[in-house]
Amino acid sequence: MLEPLLEHFQGTPLSLWGPFILLLLCGLGLPMPEDIVLITAGMLGVIDGRSWFEVSVFMYAGVLAGDSMIFFAGQRYGTRLLGTSWFQRIFPPAKQARVEELFAKHGTTGLFIGRFLPGLRAPIFFSAGSLKVSLVKFLLLDGLAALVSVPVFVWLGRWLWLKFADDFVQLERALKRTHTFTLWGTIAIVILLAAALWLWKRRDRSSS
């Protein structure tokens, strides 16, 4: 998947905006791994001479914008859409039940966890909007989660390109090896942050 994305965007005005637009679409449910888009953005950043920080900030904005679009859709149309037959094909009752269970178990902290559940991410954010979760809380929790993953995968893309350039055979092999470690490292950070959020929330409840 990396090679077609790079060939499509490299050397064009879309070298920065292309991944940004894909991240918007990922937020709306495009079946494309978000981390692959971020890795591609990191590689294109090296090719175009952009800094890791610049690319990370721009991709971070794309991730939050995509997530916010589905949140606002839930906020505006949630109650009207949930019962329609065509929407239930996209968001079937079984998936709705899983999202409800997540919110029942973790409350709004489920928004943080939801960022790392690709199959449930869009339904979780849509449900948060329909349940009238505040925009500030949504952006805080989702933004914190994205702050963990976005810079890491952009950095991984930069490192892979600097090491292997356009040798796609070696690049794909290295990606398979490093992607697993990066993914598990990110998950470990997420678990620690989720535990910290849970403890903070529990302490806040006990003190009130």
How many H helices and E strands in the chain? 10, 0
The string of pLDDT tens digits covering residues 138-197 is 888 889 888 888 998 999 899 888 888 777 777 777 777 776 666 666 667 667 766 776
Distance CA 171, CA 162 (A): 10
In 3D space, the residue among 71, 63, 69 whose CA is nearest the CA of residue 34 turns out to be: 63
The string of pLDDT tens digits covering residues 49-58 is 999 999 999 9
Distance CA 151, CA 143 (A): 12
pLDDT above 70 covers a percentage of the chain that reads: 78
64-77 mean pLDDT: 88
Single pTM value for the model? 0.78
Please answer whether residues 95 and 120 qualify as being in contact, where contact means their C-beta atoms are separated by less than 8 angstroms: yes
pLDDT category, 90, cuts 50, 70, 90? low
Max avg pLDDT among 15-19, 106-110, 185-189: 15-19
Tokens (6 digits) for 20: 């940004």
Tokens (6 digits) for 24: 């918007």
127-143 mean pLDDT: 85
Please answer whether residues 171 and 130 qualify as being in contact, where contact means their C-beta atoms are separated by less than 8 angstroms: no
In 3D space, the residue among 159, 166, 167, 99 whose CA is nearest the CA of residue 133 turns out to be: 99
Query: Residue 52: its pLDDT value, please?
Result: 95
Query: Residue 48: its pLDDT value, please?
Result: 92
